[in-house]
């Protein structure tokens, strides 16, 4: 079954692993051809020069799609105590999918988009041995939002999981 992930048509995901400052990333956004993309999640990994002062922190900020402004302070924070390398919002924005490479798992945390509340405890977890994850890093959703692809650095493979509807 081919994986039909297309970042230009993804509902609300923009993930990047970058070494430049966030300010230059926002400036570069004007050069992206698929401007209909809604920027929601930016994952900073430790090996890409993350500037976060707190380790293992996920912060949710409001983003203005018109002006490119990221509002401070964060409306919600999650101290998950793991090494999170990639983050996705669910197709309906009701939960976050967080790659936990330190524990070879993918965690699903409830998110209330009205209040901006992110639950600290995950409600579901893809984990080994069933998940067959190995130092998982990048993730992506198919354009039809039915499949989650997870890249494994340890085995140089990609796992595809069906998302329950």
Burial class (CB in 10 A: 0-12, 13-18, 19+), 40: buried
pLDDT, tens digit, 9 for 90 and up, residues 23-40: 444 444 444 433 333 434
Nearest to 7 by CA among 164, 141, 163, 149: 141
pLDDT at 144: 85
pLDDT, tens digit, 9 for 90 and up, residues 3-16: 344 444 333 333 33
pLDDT at 81: 60
Architecture of domain 22-162: 7 Propeller (2.130)
Q: What is the mean pLDDT of residues 125-142?
A: 89
pLDDT, tens digit, 9 for 90 and up, residues 60-77: 877 777 888 878 887 888
Any idea of the CA torsion for 95, 100, 105, 107, to the nearest 10 degrees? -10
* Domains in the chain: boundaries: 22-162
Question: How long a stretch of residues is the chain?
Answer: 165
pLDDT at 113: 81
């Amino acid at each position: 079954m081919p994986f039909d992930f297309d970042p230009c048509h993804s509902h609300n995901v923009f993930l990047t692993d970058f070494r430049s400052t966030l300010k230059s990333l926002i400036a570069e956004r004007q050069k992206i051809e698929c401007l209909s993309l809604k920027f929601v999640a930016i994952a900073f990994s430790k090996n890409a020069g993350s500037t976060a002062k707190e380790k293992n922190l996920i912060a949710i900020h409001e983003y203005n799609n018109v002006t490119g402004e990221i509002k401070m302070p964060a409306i919600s924070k999650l101290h998950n105590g793991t090494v999170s390398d990639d983050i996705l919002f669910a197709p309906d924005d009701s939960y976050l999918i967080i790659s936990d490479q330190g524990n070879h798992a993918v965690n699903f945390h409830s998110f209330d988009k009205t209040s901006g509340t992110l639950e600290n405890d995950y409600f579901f977890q893809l984990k080994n041995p069933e998940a067959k994850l190995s130092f998982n890093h990048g993730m992506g959703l198919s354009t039809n939002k039915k499949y989650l692809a997870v890249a494994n650095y340890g085995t140089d493979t990609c796992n595809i999981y069906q998302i329950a509807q």
